[in-house]
């Protein structure tokens, strides 16, 4: 029986990773540690919450004493670390929260692993989930590879870069078995609607303006979240200690083209006239320090571990729209109260 601590398992990607590990590996015991911030939601895991190999622990990775005692009581074989403050816009208004959770929280976990695993390093693994945003921005051409120098621009990406450096330092300095993956933008079910795709779906559905930063020229590489969870599974089980993998969909979209495609799908699904939803697109002042283009070279992962994305973007986007339209209750619950306050502050009341 392998005992695996997954942090941030009540969030968007974490819930898909928990679901995958709980259902694919009945012989593993999965412990989901999450603080349940605004982004964490146990309703994301309704279908696995009663599984006998799953347990939820509420707690804060910034609390070093709590993390220490958790590692002392539970003899974890591995950590898959996803807990983070993850929204770039929030990092611009509250950078310190990002330093605390993303850097201090990660170091607390590393310290506990170092302390309680020191006699069994060769059988333990610390897997850190990170982002391609640590690499900065690209011009018209080129791709981020695992050797691209870090060049973060937002407080979010700076905090993730800091945490990546600490994870590598604990491998190089103390010999901890660490693995890092840097992934491009994810989309899919259970995505909190402050992020571009679910926010646009929700607003189009409710006939509200769809805010697009600048002229919508920024390019992102999108990957279906379940393909990310599968990549994490493959890397977790097969990477060499200290290794890094980039994960991406070879699927670049300008924000404005993506939103137009989404509008077309929504017109069809909601029985609207072609072009009707597009009228909701509203250009808003660009995000400060907005990186122009991210694109990731995931050929190492494809070559060495045989992983490839399973879905074409158009197909995945339609599946995602269907999920949001079928899960109105989930959307209603997460967009009530605090979300509305945040939204009004960010984009004005409406």
Site for ligand NAD in 41-60 (CB under 6 A): 60
Which one of 29, 34, 133, 221 is the catalytic residue?
133
Binding status of residue 129 toward ligand NAD by CB under 6 A: yes
Helix or strand (DSSP H, E) at 346: helix 338-347
Binding status of residue 83 toward ligand NAD by CB under 6 A: yes
Helix or strand (DSSP H, E) at 20: helix 12-24
Nearer to ligand NAD, 36 or 92 (CB): 36
Q: How far is CA 144 from CA 151, 180, 246, 294, 320, in A?
A: 11, 15, 8, 8, 27
Contact at 8 Å (CB) between 249 and 231? Answer: no
Print the binding letters for residues 23-42 with ligand NAD: x by CB under 6 A, - otherwise: -----------xxxx-xx--
For the bound state, the minimum distance from the C-beta of residue 315 to ligand NAD, rounded and expressed in Å, comes to 19
Candidates 249, 265, 252; CA nearest to 309 is 249
Contact at 8 Å (CB) between 235 and 305? Answer: yes
The residue whose Cβ lies closest to ligand NAD is 11
Binding status of residue 82 toward ligand NAD by CB under 6 A: yes
Answer for which of 4, 5, 6, 8 binds ligand NAD (CB under 6 A) is: 8
Question: By rule CB under 6 A, what count of residues binds ligand NAD?
Answer: 31
Binding status of residue 10 toward ligand NAD by CB under 6 A: yes
Binding status of residue 203 toward ligand NAD by CB under 6 A: no
Residue 72, both tokens = 């002392």
The region of 21-29, 79-87, 208-216, 308-316 touching ligand NAD under the rule CB under 6 A is: 79-87
Candidates 254, 271, 280, 89; CA nearest to 201 is 280
The DSSP output letter for 312 is -
Nearer to ligand NAD, 8 or 280 (CB): 8
Strands in 244-247's sheet, in edge-to-edge order, are 54-58, 28-34, 2-7, 78-81, 125-131, 178-183, 244-247
For the bound state, the minimum distance from the C-beta of residue 320 to ligand NAD, rounded and expressed in Å, comes to 13
Nearer to ligand NAD, 105 or 162 (CB): 105
Site for ligand NAD in 160-179 (CB under 6 A): 160
Alpha helices in 54-104 (DSSP H): 64-73, 88-93, 95-98
122-127-132 Cα angle (round to 5) = 140
Tell me whether residue 132 is one of the annotated catalytic residues: yes
| Complete DSSP assignment for 179-209 | EEEEE-EEESTT--TTSHHHHHHHHHHTT--
Which one of 54, 127, 156, 294 is the catalytic residue?
156
Binding status of residue 258 toward ligand NAD by CB under 6 A: no
Site residues (vs ligand NAD, CB under 6 A): 7-8, 10-14, 34-37, 39-40, 60-62, 82-86, 101, 105, 129-131, 160, 183, 185-186, 192
Q: Which residues are catalytic?
A: 132-133, 156
């Amino acid at each position: 029986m392998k005992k695996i601590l997954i942090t941030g398992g009540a969030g968007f990607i974490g819930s898909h990773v928990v679901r995958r590990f709980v259902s694919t590996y009945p012989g593993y015991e999965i412990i989901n540690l999450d603080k349940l911030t605004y982004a964490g939601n146990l309703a994301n895991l309704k279908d696995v919450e009663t599984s006998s190999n799953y347990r939820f622990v509420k707690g804060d990775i910034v609390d070093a004493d709590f993390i220490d005692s958790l590692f002392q009581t539970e003899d974890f074989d591995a950590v898959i670390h996803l807990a983070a403050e993850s929204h770039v816009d929030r990092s611009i208004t509250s950078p310190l929260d990002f330093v605390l959770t993303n850097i201090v929280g990660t170091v607390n976990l590393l310290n506990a692993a170092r302390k309680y695993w020191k006699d069994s390093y060769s059988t333990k693994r610390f897997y850190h989930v990170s982002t391609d945003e640590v690499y900065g921005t690209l011009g018209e051409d080129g791709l981020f590879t695992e050797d691209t120098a870090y060049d973060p621009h937002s407080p979010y990406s700076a905090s993730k870069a800091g945490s990546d450096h600490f994870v590598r330092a604990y491998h190089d300095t103390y010999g901890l078995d660490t693995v890092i993956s840097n992934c491009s933008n994810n989309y899919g079910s259970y995505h909190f609607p402050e992020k571009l795709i679910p926010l646009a779906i929700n607003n189009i559905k409710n006939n509200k303006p769809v805010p697009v930063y600048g002229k919508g020229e920024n390019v992102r590489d999108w990957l279906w979240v379940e393909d990310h969870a599968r990549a994490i599974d493959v890397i977790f089980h097969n990477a060499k200690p200290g290794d890094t993998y980039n994960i991406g969909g070879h699927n670049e979209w300008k924000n404005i083209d993506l939103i137009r495609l989404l509008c077309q799908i929504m017109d069809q699904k909601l029985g609207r006239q072609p072009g009707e939803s597009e009228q909701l697109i509203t250009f808003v002042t660009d995000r400060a320090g907005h990186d122009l283009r991210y694109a990731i070279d995931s050929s190492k992962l494809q070559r060495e571990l045989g992983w490839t994305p399973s879905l074409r973007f158009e197909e995945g986007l339609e599946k995602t729209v269907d999920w949001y339209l079928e899960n109105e209750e989930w959307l209603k619950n997460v967009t009530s109260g605090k979300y509305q306050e945040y939204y009004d502050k960010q984009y004005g009341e409406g």
